[in-house]
Amino acid sequence: MKRAIFPGSFDPITLGHYDIIERGVKLFDEVIVAIGVNASKKYMFSIEERMNFIKEAFKHEPKITVVSYKGLTVDFCKENNVEYILRGLRNPADFEFEKAIAHTNRDLAPIETVFLLTAAKTSYIASSIVRDVIRNNGDYTKLVPKSVRIK
Following DSSP, what letter does each residue of 54-97 receive, concatenated? HHHHTTT-TTEEEEEEES-HHHHHHHTT--EEEEEE-SHHHHHH
Calpha distance 73→8 (Å, rounded): 10
127 is catalytic: yes
Q: Active site residue: 55, 78, 90, 99, which one?
A: 90
Q: Active site residue: 41, 42, 60, 151, which one?
A: 41
128 is catalytic: no
Calpha distance 5→14 (Å, rounded): 17
121 is catalytic: no
What are the residues whose beta carbons fall under 8 Å from the beta carbon of 47, sequence distance 6 or more? 35, 37, 68
Calpha distance 13→15 (Å, rounded): 7
Q: How many CA atoms lie within 13 A of 29 on its CB side?
A: 5
103 is catalytic: no
State residue 34 phi and psi, 5-degree precision.
-115, 115
Active site residues: 17, 41, 90, 127
